[in-house]
Structure 1
Amino acid sequence: MSLATAAPLVLVGAGKMGGAMLDGWLDQGLDPASVTIVDPTLSPLAETFTLRGVSHAARLEDIGLTPAVVVLAVKPQIMGSVLHAASRVLGPRTVTVSVAAGTTLATLSAGLGAGPVVRVMPNTPAQVGRGMSVCVGNAAVSEGDRALVTALMNAVGETAWIDDEALIDAVTGVSGSGPAYVFLLAEALAAAGRAAGLPADLAEKLARQTVVGSGELLRMSPLPAATLRENVTSPNGTTFAALQVLMAEDGLGPLMEKAVAAATRRSRELAGG
Protein backbone atom coordinates (compact mmCIF):
# COMPACT_ATOMS: atom_id res chain seq x y z
CA MET A 1 0.00 0.00 0.00
CA SER A 2 1.23 3.49 -0.86
CA LEU A 3 2.15 5.79 2.01
CA ALA A 4 0.08 8.46 0.25
CA THR A 5 -2.95 6.72 1.77
CA ALA A 6 -1.73 7.89 5.17
CA ALA A 7 -2.16 11.55 4.24
CA PRO A 8 -2.90 13.79 5.95
CA LEU A 9 -0.81 12.39 8.79
CA VAL A 10 -0.37 13.98 12.21
CA LEU A 11 2.60 12.98 14.36
CA VAL A 12 2.20 13.88 18.04
CA GLY A 13 5.72 13.99 19.46
CA ALA A 14 8.87 14.11 17.34
CA GLY A 15 11.46 12.66 19.70
CA LYS A 16 13.87 9.89 18.79
CA MET A 17 11.24 7.29 17.89
CA GLY A 18 8.76 9.70 16.33
CA GLY A 19 11.56 11.38 14.41
CA ALA A 20 12.96 8.04 13.22
CA MET A 21 9.55 7.01 11.88
CA LEU A 22 8.96 10.34 10.16
CA ASP A 23 12.40 10.24 8.59
CA GLY A 24 11.59 6.80 7.18
CA TRP A 25 8.20 7.90 5.86
CA LEU A 26 9.64 10.91 4.08
CA ASP A 27 12.45 8.82 2.61
CA GLN A 28 9.83 6.37 1.32
CA GLY A 29 8.00 9.13 -0.51
CA LEU A 30 5.41 10.52 1.89
CA ASP A 31 4.74 14.14 0.87
CA PRO A 32 6.12 16.45 3.60
CA ALA A 33 3.27 18.86 2.92
CA SER A 34 0.82 16.19 4.08
CA VAL A 35 2.45 15.84 7.52
CA THR A 36 1.97 17.93 10.67
CA ILE A 37 4.10 17.56 13.79
CA VAL A 38 2.31 18.44 17.02
CA ASP A 39 4.61 19.46 19.85
CA PRO A 40 4.34 22.34 22.37
CA THR A 41 7.87 23.44 21.51
CA LEU A 42 9.68 23.11 18.20
CA SER A 43 12.66 20.93 19.14
CA PRO A 44 15.84 21.03 17.04
CA LEU A 45 14.90 17.62 15.59
CA ALA A 46 11.38 18.75 14.72
CA GLU A 47 12.81 21.90 13.16
CA THR A 48 14.85 19.82 10.72
CA PHE A 49 11.59 18.35 9.44
CA THR A 50 9.95 21.74 9.01
CA LEU A 51 12.90 22.68 6.81
CA ARG A 52 11.89 19.72 4.63
CA GLY A 53 8.33 21.04 4.30
CA VAL A 54 6.56 19.45 7.29
CA SER A 55 4.09 21.65 9.19
CA HIS A 56 4.18 22.26 12.93
CA ALA A 57 1.41 22.95 15.43
CA ALA A 58 1.79 23.55 19.14
CA ARG A 59 -1.55 21.83 19.94
CA LEU A 60 -3.71 19.19 18.29
CA GLU A 61 -6.61 21.64 18.30
CA ASP A 62 -4.58 23.90 15.99
CA ILE A 63 -4.01 21.47 13.10
CA GLY A 64 -7.07 22.65 11.16
CA LEU A 65 -7.78 19.37 9.39
CA THR A 66 -9.19 15.87 9.85
CA PRO A 67 -6.25 13.46 9.68
CA ALA A 68 -6.25 10.07 7.99
CA VAL A 69 -3.69 8.87 10.54
CA VAL A 70 -2.64 10.16 13.96
CA VAL A 71 0.56 8.70 15.40
CA LEU A 72 1.02 9.12 19.15
CA ALA A 73 4.73 9.05 20.01
CA VAL A 74 4.58 10.61 23.46
CA LYS A 75 5.53 9.53 26.96
CA PRO A 76 2.86 7.49 28.76
CA GLN A 77 2.72 10.11 31.53
CA ILE A 78 1.07 12.68 29.24
CA MET A 79 -1.05 10.25 27.23
CA GLY A 80 -4.27 11.16 29.09
CA SER A 81 -4.20 14.80 28.02
CA VAL A 82 -3.11 13.85 24.49
CA LEU A 83 -6.03 11.44 24.11
CA HIS A 84 -8.47 14.10 25.29
CA ALA A 85 -7.17 16.54 22.67
CA ALA A 86 -6.99 13.90 19.93
CA SER A 87 -10.61 12.84 20.45
CA ARG A 88 -11.67 16.31 19.30
CA VAL A 89 -9.94 16.17 15.92
CA LEU A 90 -10.36 12.56 14.80
CA GLY A 91 -12.70 11.62 12.00
CA PRO A 92 -14.78 8.40 12.14
CA ARG A 93 -12.19 6.52 10.07
CA THR A 94 -9.03 8.18 11.35
CA VAL A 95 -6.52 5.48 12.26
CA THR A 96 -4.75 6.16 15.56
CA VAL A 97 -1.37 4.52 16.03
CA SER A 98 0.26 4.54 19.48
CA VAL A 99 3.90 3.68 20.10
CA ALA A 100 3.70 4.57 23.81
CA ALA A 101 4.85 1.72 26.04
CA GLY A 102 2.40 0.52 28.66
CA THR A 103 -0.72 2.22 27.25
CA THR A 104 -3.27 -0.48 26.47
CA LEU A 105 -5.82 -0.63 23.67
CA ALA A 106 -8.57 -0.34 26.27
CA THR A 107 -7.08 2.92 27.58
CA LEU A 108 -6.54 4.28 24.09
CA SER A 109 -10.02 3.35 22.89
CA ALA A 110 -11.65 4.73 26.02
CA GLY A 111 -9.97 8.06 25.44
CA LEU A 112 -10.49 8.25 21.70
CA GLY A 113 -13.89 6.71 21.04
CA ALA A 114 -15.00 3.98 18.66
CA GLY A 115 -12.51 4.44 15.82
CA PRO A 116 -9.65 2.16 14.72
CA VAL A 117 -6.71 2.10 17.13
CA VAL A 118 -3.42 0.23 16.69
CA ARG A 119 -0.87 -0.25 19.42
CA VAL A 120 2.70 -0.72 18.17
CA MET A 121 5.82 -1.86 19.99
CA PRO A 122 8.79 -0.67 17.90
CA ASN A 123 12.45 -0.67 18.85
CA THR A 124 15.35 1.74 18.52
CA PRO A 125 16.99 0.25 15.38
CA ALA A 126 14.13 2.01 13.60
CA GLN A 127 16.49 5.00 13.77
CA VAL A 128 18.60 3.33 11.06
CA GLY A 129 15.79 1.62 9.16
CA ARG A 130 16.35 -1.76 10.85
CA GLY A 131 13.57 -1.69 13.43
CA MET A 132 11.19 -4.45 14.48
CA SER A 133 7.60 -3.37 15.10
CA VAL A 134 4.83 -5.57 16.46
CA CYS A 135 1.24 -4.34 16.08
CA VAL A 136 -2.12 -5.19 17.63
CA GLY A 137 -5.40 -3.46 16.83
CA ASN A 138 -8.83 -3.03 18.35
CA ALA A 139 -12.00 -4.47 16.82
CA ALA A 140 -12.53 -1.42 14.60
CA VAL A 141 -9.29 -1.99 12.65
CA SER A 142 -9.99 -3.19 9.11
CA GLU A 143 -7.74 -5.12 6.74
CA GLY A 144 -7.11 -1.84 4.95
CA ASP A 145 -6.08 -0.21 8.22
CA ARG A 146 -3.69 -3.08 8.91
CA ALA A 147 -2.14 -2.71 5.47
CA LEU A 148 -1.73 1.03 6.02
CA VAL A 149 -0.03 0.63 9.40
CA THR A 150 2.17 -2.14 7.99
CA ALA A 151 3.31 0.19 5.21
CA LEU A 152 4.12 2.90 7.74
CA MET A 153 6.13 0.63 10.01
CA ASN A 154 7.85 -1.21 7.15
CA ALA A 155 9.39 2.16 6.23
CA VAL A 156 11.62 1.79 9.32
CA GLY A 157 12.19 -1.98 9.36
CA GLU A 158 10.12 -5.15 9.66
CA THR A 159 6.55 -5.52 10.94
CA ALA A 160 4.53 -8.32 12.53
CA TRP A 161 0.97 -8.48 13.86
CA ILE A 162 -0.46 -10.31 16.87
CA ASP A 163 -4.09 -10.89 17.81
CA ASP A 164 -3.57 -11.24 21.56
CA GLU A 165 -2.56 -7.94 23.17
CA ALA A 166 -1.24 -9.80 26.22
CA LEU A 167 1.71 -10.92 24.08
CA ILE A 168 2.91 -7.31 23.82
CA ASP A 169 4.63 -7.68 27.19
CA ALA A 170 6.72 -10.60 25.92
CA VAL A 171 7.37 -8.69 22.69
CA THR A 172 8.69 -5.85 24.83
CA GLY A 173 10.97 -8.27 26.66
CA VAL A 174 12.42 -9.67 23.43
CA SER A 175 12.55 -6.95 20.77
CA GLY A 176 11.54 -3.77 22.59
CA SER A 177 14.30 -4.10 25.19
CA GLY A 178 16.42 -6.44 23.07
CA PRO A 179 18.74 -3.82 21.51
CA ALA A 180 20.09 -3.11 25.01
CA TYR A 181 20.98 -6.79 25.38
CA VAL A 182 22.93 -6.69 22.13
CA PHE A 183 24.74 -3.50 23.16
CA LEU A 184 25.60 -5.15 26.48
CA LEU A 185 27.01 -8.11 24.55
CA ALA A 186 29.27 -5.73 22.62
CA GLU A 187 30.36 -4.10 25.91
CA ALA A 188 31.06 -7.45 27.54
CA LEU A 189 32.93 -8.78 24.52
CA ALA A 190 35.16 -5.69 24.43
CA ALA A 191 35.81 -5.98 28.18
CA ALA A 192 36.73 -9.65 27.77
CA GLY A 193 39.13 -8.70 24.99
CA ARG A 194 40.82 -6.16 27.24
CA ALA A 195 41.05 -8.76 30.00
CA ALA A 196 42.74 -11.11 27.50
CA GLY A 197 45.42 -8.47 26.84
CA LEU A 198 44.11 -6.56 23.80
CA PRO A 199 44.53 -2.78 23.63
CA ALA A 200 41.26 -1.05 24.56
CA ASP A 201 40.65 0.54 21.15
CA LEU A 202 41.29 -2.72 19.30
CA ALA A 203 39.07 -4.70 21.68
CA GLU A 204 36.27 -2.14 21.14
CA LYS A 205 36.63 -2.28 17.36
CA LEU A 206 36.70 -6.07 17.27
CA ALA A 207 33.64 -6.39 19.49
CA ARG A 208 31.61 -3.74 17.67
CA GLN A 209 32.35 -5.00 14.17
CA THR A 210 31.80 -8.62 15.17
CA VAL A 211 28.32 -7.79 16.49
CA VAL A 212 27.50 -5.61 13.45
CA GLY A 213 28.81 -8.12 10.92
CA SER A 214 27.15 -11.10 12.58
CA GLY A 215 23.84 -9.24 12.69
CA GLU A 216 24.06 -8.46 8.98
CA LEU A 217 24.94 -12.08 8.20
CA LEU A 218 21.95 -13.20 10.23
CA ARG A 219 19.74 -10.74 8.33
CA MET A 220 20.99 -11.81 4.92
CA SER A 221 21.14 -15.57 5.46
CA PRO A 222 18.09 -17.86 5.17
CA LEU A 223 19.68 -20.21 7.70
CA PRO A 224 18.51 -20.38 11.34
CA ALA A 225 20.71 -18.76 13.95
CA ALA A 226 21.56 -22.19 15.36
CA THR A 227 22.88 -23.35 11.97
CA LEU A 228 24.98 -20.21 11.57
CA ARG A 229 26.42 -20.85 15.03
CA GLU A 230 27.22 -24.45 14.13
CA ASN A 231 28.91 -23.33 10.91
CA VAL A 232 31.39 -21.25 12.94
CA THR A 233 32.09 -24.07 15.39
CA SER A 234 34.81 -26.58 14.53
CA PRO A 235 34.83 -29.76 16.65
CA ASN A 236 37.06 -29.25 19.67
CA GLY A 237 38.25 -25.88 18.35
CA THR A 238 38.41 -22.44 19.91
CA THR A 239 34.74 -21.56 19.33
CA PHE A 240 33.73 -24.96 20.70
CA ALA A 241 35.69 -24.25 23.87
CA ALA A 242 33.98 -20.88 24.33
CA LEU A 243 30.53 -22.30 23.68
CA GLN A 244 31.04 -24.92 26.38
CA VAL A 245 30.92 -21.97 28.78
CA LEU A 246 28.17 -19.97 27.09
CA MET A 247 25.90 -23.00 26.56
CA ALA A 248 26.36 -24.53 30.01
CA GLU A 249 23.37 -25.12 32.28
CA ASP A 250 23.98 -21.76 33.93
CA GLY A 251 25.12 -20.08 30.70
CA LEU A 252 23.66 -17.58 28.28
CA GLY A 253 20.43 -19.43 27.47
CA PRO A 254 18.99 -19.58 31.00
CA LEU A 255 20.31 -16.10 31.75
CA MET A 256 18.60 -14.64 28.68
CA GLU A 257 15.37 -16.43 29.59
CA LYS A 258 15.48 -14.83 33.05
CA ALA A 259 16.22 -11.42 31.55
CA VAL A 260 13.31 -11.55 29.10
CA ALA A 261 11.00 -12.79 31.86
CA ALA A 262 12.04 -9.85 34.06
CA ALA A 263 11.37 -7.35 31.27
CA THR A 264 8.02 -9.00 30.53
CA ARG A 265 6.96 -8.78 34.17
CA ARG A 266 7.96 -5.12 34.34
CA SER A 267 6.03 -4.36 31.16
CA ARG A 268 2.91 -5.86 32.74
CA GLU A 269 3.46 -3.81 35.89
CA LEU A 270 3.79 -0.58 33.90
CA ALA A 271 0.55 -1.39 32.08
CA GLY A 272 -1.21 -1.95 35.39
CA GLY A 273 -1.52 -5.68 34.85
Structure 2
Amino acid sequence: MSNETLGIIGGTGWLGGSIAQAVLAKALLPAGKLVISNRSGSHPLAQQGVCLVTDNQALVNRSDVVIIAVRPEHFTNLNINATGKTVISLMAGITAQVIAVQTKASVVVRAMPNAAVEIGQSFTPWYCFGEVGATTRSFVQRLFECVGTAAEVQAEDFIDYLSALSGTGPAFPALLMTALANQAMVAGIPADIAQLAAKNVVVNSSQLLSSRDAQQVIDALVAYQGVTAAALQAMTQGHFEEQVGKALQAGAAVAREGLQVG
Protein backbone atom coordinates (compact mmCIF):
# COMPACT_ATOMS: atom_id res chain seq x y z
CA MET A 1 0.00 0.00 0.00
CA SER A 2 1.37 3.40 -0.99
CA ASN A 3 1.96 6.37 1.31
CA GLU A 4 1.18 8.84 -1.46
CA THR A 5 -1.98 10.91 -1.33
CA LEU A 6 -3.75 10.74 -4.68
CA GLY A 7 -6.12 13.42 -5.90
CA ILE A 8 -8.41 12.90 -8.88
CA ILE A 9 -9.89 15.95 -10.55
CA GLY A 10 -12.95 14.53 -12.24
CA GLY A 11 -12.91 11.64 -9.78
CA THR A 12 -16.66 11.13 -9.98
CA GLY A 13 -16.80 10.93 -13.79
CA TRP A 14 -16.80 7.62 -15.65
CA LEU A 15 -13.02 7.49 -16.12
CA GLY A 16 -11.82 9.11 -12.91
CA GLY A 17 -14.51 7.31 -10.94
CA SER A 18 -13.51 3.91 -12.34
CA ILE A 19 -9.90 4.55 -11.36
CA ALA A 20 -10.94 5.72 -7.88
CA GLN A 21 -13.01 2.58 -7.33
CA ALA A 22 -10.21 0.33 -8.58
CA VAL A 23 -7.58 2.02 -6.41
CA LEU A 24 -9.69 1.22 -3.36
CA ALA A 25 -10.67 -2.28 -4.49
CA LYS A 26 -7.04 -3.24 -5.20
CA ALA A 27 -5.88 -1.59 -1.95
CA LEU A 28 -3.32 0.59 -3.69
CA LEU A 29 -4.28 3.32 -1.22
CA PRO A 30 -6.43 3.51 1.90
CA ALA A 31 -9.59 5.60 1.46
CA GLY A 32 -8.11 8.38 3.58
CA LYS A 33 -5.31 8.82 1.04
CA LEU A 34 -7.71 9.44 -1.84
CA VAL A 35 -9.12 12.89 -2.62
CA ILE A 36 -11.67 13.53 -5.34
CA SER A 37 -13.41 16.70 -6.48
CA ASN A 38 -16.75 17.53 -8.02
CA ARG A 39 -19.06 20.50 -8.05
CA SER A 40 -21.77 19.06 -5.84
CA GLY A 41 -19.52 18.02 -3.00
CA SER A 42 -21.40 14.74 -2.59
CA HIS A 43 -20.76 11.23 -3.85
CA PRO A 44 -21.12 7.66 -2.51
CA LEU A 45 -17.31 7.33 -2.35
CA ALA A 46 -17.36 9.74 0.58
CA GLN A 47 -19.16 7.06 2.60
CA GLN A 48 -16.09 4.84 2.17
CA GLY A 49 -13.85 7.45 3.78
CA VAL A 50 -12.67 9.17 0.61
CA CYS A 51 -12.08 12.91 0.98
CA LEU A 52 -14.45 14.84 -1.28
CA VAL A 53 -13.89 18.53 -2.08
CA THR A 54 -15.54 21.04 -4.37
CA ASP A 55 -12.42 23.14 -5.06
CA ASN A 56 -9.75 21.76 -7.38
CA GLN A 57 -6.94 23.78 -5.80
CA ALA A 58 -7.90 22.40 -2.39
CA LEU A 59 -7.53 18.93 -3.89
CA VAL A 60 -4.10 19.77 -5.28
CA ASN A 61 -2.97 21.17 -1.93
CA ARG A 62 -3.91 17.92 -0.17
CA SER A 63 -2.33 15.61 -2.77
CA ASP A 64 1.15 14.39 -3.73
CA VAL A 65 -0.02 13.07 -7.10
CA VAL A 66 -2.86 14.67 -9.05
CA ILE A 67 -4.79 12.96 -11.84
CA ILE A 68 -6.57 15.23 -14.29
CA ALA A 69 -9.52 13.24 -15.65
CA VAL A 70 -11.51 15.94 -17.41
CA ARG A 71 -12.30 16.63 -21.06
CA PRO A 72 -9.42 18.45 -22.79
CA GLU A 73 -11.52 21.54 -23.52
CA HIS A 74 -12.10 21.99 -19.78
CA PHE A 75 -8.39 22.06 -18.94
CA THR A 76 -7.95 25.82 -19.37
CA ASN A 77 -10.59 26.48 -16.72
CA LEU A 78 -8.89 24.43 -13.99
CA ASN A 79 -6.41 27.15 -12.99
CA ILE A 80 -4.51 24.94 -10.57
CA ASN A 81 -1.04 25.48 -9.15
CA ALA A 82 0.64 22.11 -8.72
CA THR A 83 4.17 23.33 -7.95
CA GLY A 84 6.27 20.45 -6.67
CA LYS A 85 3.57 17.89 -7.52
CA THR A 86 3.29 15.05 -10.00
CA VAL A 87 0.41 15.57 -12.43
CA ILE A 88 -1.00 12.65 -14.40
CA SER A 89 -3.02 13.74 -17.41
CA LEU A 90 -5.64 11.49 -18.97
CA MET A 91 -6.45 14.12 -21.60
CA ALA A 92 -5.83 13.60 -25.30
CA GLY A 93 -4.42 16.40 -27.40
CA ILE A 94 -2.64 18.42 -24.69
CA THR A 95 1.13 18.02 -24.55
CA ALA A 96 3.10 17.41 -21.39
CA GLN A 97 4.97 20.69 -21.95
CA VAL A 98 1.71 22.66 -22.03
CA ILE A 99 0.44 20.89 -18.92
CA ALA A 100 3.69 21.59 -17.08
CA VAL A 101 3.57 25.29 -17.94
CA GLN A 102 -0.12 25.62 -17.09
CA THR A 103 0.01 23.75 -13.76
CA LYS A 104 3.65 24.42 -12.75
CA ALA A 105 3.97 20.71 -11.96
CA SER A 106 7.49 19.37 -11.52
CA VAL A 107 6.59 16.07 -13.20
CA VAL A 108 3.91 15.40 -15.81
CA VAL A 109 2.76 11.95 -16.84
CA ARG A 110 0.56 11.55 -19.90
CA ALA A 111 -1.48 8.36 -19.92
CA MET A 112 -4.21 7.00 -22.16
CA PRO A 113 -6.50 4.40 -20.58
CA ASN A 114 -9.71 3.39 -22.34
CA ALA A 115 -13.31 2.52 -21.54
CA ALA A 116 -12.30 -0.97 -20.40
CA VAL A 117 -11.24 0.58 -17.09
CA GLU A 118 -14.84 -0.13 -16.09
CA ILE A 119 -14.12 -3.86 -16.11
CA GLY A 120 -10.45 -3.69 -15.13
CA GLN A 121 -9.26 -4.60 -18.64
CA SER A 122 -7.77 -1.37 -20.00
CA PHE A 123 -4.32 -1.21 -21.55
CA THR A 124 -2.78 2.09 -20.44
CA PRO A 125 0.40 3.42 -22.07
CA TRP A 126 2.06 6.23 -20.13
CA TYR A 127 4.88 8.70 -20.71
CA CYS A 128 6.92 10.71 -18.18
CA PHE A 129 7.99 14.33 -18.70
CA GLY A 130 10.51 15.86 -16.30
CA GLU A 131 12.92 14.39 -13.75
CA VAL A 132 11.06 11.28 -12.65
CA GLY A 133 12.38 8.98 -9.96
CA ALA A 134 11.97 5.23 -9.68
CA THR A 135 9.44 5.59 -6.85
CA THR A 136 7.13 7.73 -8.97
CA ARG A 137 7.45 5.41 -11.96
CA SER A 138 6.59 2.44 -9.78
CA PHE A 139 3.55 4.21 -8.38
CA VAL A 140 2.26 5.14 -11.84
CA GLN A 141 2.67 1.58 -13.10
CA ARG A 142 0.87 0.12 -10.07
CA LEU A 143 -1.85 2.74 -10.36
CA PHE A 144 -2.76 1.77 -13.91
CA GLU A 145 -2.38 -1.93 -13.20
CA CYS A 146 -5.37 -1.44 -10.89
CA VAL A 147 -7.51 -1.08 -14.03
CA GLY A 148 -5.77 -3.59 -16.32
CA THR A 149 -2.30 -3.65 -17.84
CA ALA A 150 0.08 -0.75 -18.40
CA ALA A 151 3.44 0.06 -19.98
CA GLU A 152 5.73 3.09 -20.01
CA VAL A 153 6.63 4.43 -23.46
CA GLN A 154 9.74 6.45 -24.17
CA ALA A 155 8.33 9.04 -26.59
CA GLU A 156 5.35 11.32 -26.17
CA ASP A 157 4.43 10.79 -29.81
CA PHE A 158 3.70 7.16 -28.95
CA ILE A 159 0.93 8.34 -26.62
CA ASP A 160 -0.66 10.27 -29.48
CA TYR A 161 -0.56 7.21 -31.75
CA LEU A 162 -1.80 4.86 -29.04
CA SER A 163 -4.66 7.26 -28.34
CA ALA A 164 -5.99 6.09 -31.70
CA LEU A 165 -5.16 2.43 -31.08
CA SER A 166 -5.66 1.28 -27.50
CA GLY A 167 -7.30 4.52 -26.39
CA THR A 168 -10.27 3.82 -28.62
CA GLY A 169 -11.18 0.88 -26.39
CA PRO A 170 -14.12 -1.11 -27.75
CA ALA A 171 -14.67 1.15 -30.77
CA PHE A 172 -12.89 -1.01 -33.36
CA PRO A 173 -14.35 -4.33 -32.10
CA ALA A 174 -17.78 -2.66 -32.06
CA LEU A 175 -17.32 -1.54 -35.67
CA LEU A 176 -16.26 -5.04 -36.74
CA MET A 177 -19.15 -6.66 -34.89
CA THR A 178 -21.63 -4.26 -36.48
CA ALA A 179 -20.18 -4.85 -39.95
CA LEU A 180 -20.32 -8.63 -39.57
CA ALA A 181 -23.93 -8.53 -38.37
CA ASN A 182 -25.03 -6.09 -41.06
CA GLN A 183 -23.44 -8.12 -43.85
CA ALA A 184 -25.04 -11.31 -42.54
CA MET A 185 -28.44 -9.61 -42.63
CA VAL A 186 -27.76 -8.43 -46.19
CA ALA A 187 -27.20 -12.12 -47.02
CA GLY A 188 -30.63 -12.91 -45.60
CA ILE A 189 -29.70 -14.13 -42.13
CA PRO A 190 -32.33 -13.08 -39.53
CA ALA A 191 -31.19 -10.12 -37.43
CA ASP A 192 -31.14 -11.95 -34.10
CA ILE A 193 -29.05 -14.80 -35.50
CA ALA A 194 -26.72 -12.40 -37.33
CA GLN A 195 -26.09 -10.42 -34.17
CA LEU A 196 -25.46 -13.54 -32.08
CA ALA A 197 -23.00 -14.87 -34.64
CA ALA A 198 -21.13 -11.57 -34.88
CA LYS A 199 -20.97 -11.20 -31.11
CA ASN A 200 -19.57 -14.72 -30.80
CA VAL A 201 -16.77 -13.88 -33.23
CA VAL A 202 -15.77 -10.58 -31.65
CA VAL A 203 -16.46 -11.15 -27.95
CA ASN A 204 -16.23 -14.90 -27.37
CA SER A 205 -14.02 -16.50 -30.02
CA SER A 206 -11.44 -13.73 -29.83
CA GLN A 207 -10.66 -14.75 -26.24
CA LEU A 208 -8.62 -17.60 -27.74
CA LEU A 209 -6.07 -14.94 -28.69
CA SER A 210 -5.27 -14.31 -25.02
CA SER A 211 -3.12 -17.46 -25.06
CA ARG A 212 -2.19 -17.73 -28.75
CA ASP A 213 -0.05 -15.75 -31.17
CA ALA A 214 -2.36 -13.93 -33.58
CA GLN A 215 -0.15 -14.31 -36.64
CA GLN A 216 0.29 -18.03 -36.00
CA VAL A 217 -3.50 -18.40 -35.81
CA ILE A 218 -3.89 -16.62 -39.16
CA ASP A 219 -1.12 -18.65 -40.79
CA ALA A 220 -2.61 -21.94 -39.60
CA LEU A 221 -6.08 -21.07 -40.89
CA VAL A 222 -4.74 -19.89 -44.26
CA ALA A 223 -2.69 -23.09 -44.61
CA TYR A 224 -5.86 -25.13 -44.10
CA GLN A 225 -7.22 -23.58 -47.31
CA GLY A 226 -10.84 -23.71 -46.21
CA VAL A 227 -13.70 -21.28 -45.71
CA THR A 228 -11.74 -19.08 -43.30
CA ALA A 229 -8.78 -18.89 -45.67
CA ALA A 230 -11.04 -17.65 -48.48
CA ALA A 231 -12.53 -14.98 -46.21
CA LEU A 232 -9.11 -13.84 -45.02
CA GLN A 233 -7.81 -13.69 -48.58
CA ALA A 234 -10.72 -11.47 -49.62
CA MET A 235 -10.03 -9.11 -46.74
CA THR A 236 -6.32 -9.00 -47.60
CA GLN A 237 -7.06 -8.26 -51.25
CA GLY A 238 -9.40 -5.51 -50.07
CA HIS A 239 -6.45 -3.83 -48.33
CA PHE A 240 -7.90 -4.41 -44.86
CA GLU A 241 -4.62 -3.73 -43.04
CA GLU A 242 -4.01 -0.55 -45.03
CA GLN A 243 -7.47 0.71 -44.08
CA VAL A 244 -6.70 0.03 -40.42
CA GLY A 245 -3.46 1.96 -40.81
CA LYS A 246 -5.29 4.93 -42.30
CA ALA A 247 -7.77 4.88 -39.43
CA LEU A 248 -5.01 4.90 -36.83
CA GLN A 249 -3.13 7.68 -38.59
CA ALA A 250 -6.29 9.78 -38.78
CA GLY A 251 -6.89 9.41 -35.06
CA ALA A 252 -3.25 10.03 -34.20
CA ALA A 253 -3.25 13.18 -36.33
CA VAL A 254 -6.03 14.65 -34.20
CA ALA A 255 -4.06 13.85 -31.03
CA ARG A 256 -0.86 15.34 -32.46
CA GLU A 257 -2.57 18.56 -33.47
CA GLY A 258 -3.10 19.23 -29.79
CA LEU A 259 -5.21 21.93 -28.22
CA GLN A 260 -4.06 25.52 -28.06
CA VAL A 261 -3.81 26.05 -24.32
CA GLY A 262 -2.05 28.84 -22.50
How does the TM-score come out when normalised to structure 2? Answer: 0.90
Please give the alpha-carbon distance, in whole angstroms, between the structure 1 residues aligned to 2:251 and 2:136: 30
Q: CA RMSD in A?
A: 2.0
* Superposition pairs of residues 33-112 of structure 1, within 5 angstroms: 33-42=32-41, 47-63=43-59, 66-82=62-78, 84-85=79-80, 87=81, 90=82, 92=84, 94-112=85-103
SS of the equivalent of 2:67 reads: strand
Please give the alpha-carbon distance, in whole angstroms, between the structure 2 residues aligned to 1:22 and 1:228: 38
Distance change >3 Å, CA 52–CA 198, structure 1 → 2: farther
Please give the alpha-carbon distance, in whole angstroms, between the structure 1 residues aligned to 2:195 and 2:40: 38
Please give the alpha-carbon distance, in whole angstroms, between the structure 1 residues aligned to 2:198 and 2:60: 51
**Cα distance, 1:206 vs. partner?**
1.9
SS of the equivalent of 2:224 reads: coil
For 1:26-55, what per-residue CA distance to the aligned partner results, in whole angstroms no more than 9, with x for missing partners?
Answer: 11013222212111135xxx7232233322
Identity %: 28
**What runs of 5+ residues in structure 2 fail to find an aligned partner?**
none
Match of 1:9 in 2: 6
Q: Which of 184, 199, 224 is the matching residue for 1:235?
A: 224
Please give the alpha-carbon distance, in whole angstroms, between the structure 2 residues aligned to 1:168 and 1:64: 25
Moved over 4 A (4+): none
Please give the alpha-carbon distance, in whole angstroms, between the structure 1 residues aligned to 2:44 and 2:141: 26
**Cα distance, 1:144 vs. partner?**
1.2
**Cα distance, 1:228 vs. partner?**
1.9
Q: Which of 232, 248, 254 is the matching residue for 1:260?
A: 248
Please give the alpha-carbon distance, in whole angstroms, between the structure 2 residues aligned to 1:104 and 1:120: 11
Per mean C-alpha deviation after superposition, the further-off stretch among 55-64 and 120-129 is 55-64
Report how many aligned residue pairs link the two structures. 258
**What runs of 5+ residues in structure 1 fail to find an aligned partner?**
none
Distance change >3 Å, CA 118–CA 205, structure 1 → 2: same
Contact 1:133 1:159 in 2 (8 A): yes
Per mean C-alpha deviation after superposition, the further-off stretch among 122-131 and 166-175 is 166-175
Please give the alpha-carbon distance, in whole angstroms, between the structure 1 residues aligned to 2:234 and 2:16: 41
Please give the alpha-carbon distance, in whole angstroms, between the structure 1 residues aligned to 2:50 and 2:254: 37
Match of 2:125 in 1: 134
Match of 1:171 in 2: 162
Distance change >3 Å, CA 23–CA 37, structure 1 → 2: same
For 1:92-139, what per-residue CA distance to the aligned partner results, in whole angstroms no more than 9, with x for missing partners?
Answer: 3x3211101111110111122251211111111111111011111112
Contact 2:107 2:132 in 1 (8 A): yes
Distance change >3 Å, CA 192–CA 5, structure 1 → 2: farther
Contact 1:118 1:141 in 2 (8 A): no
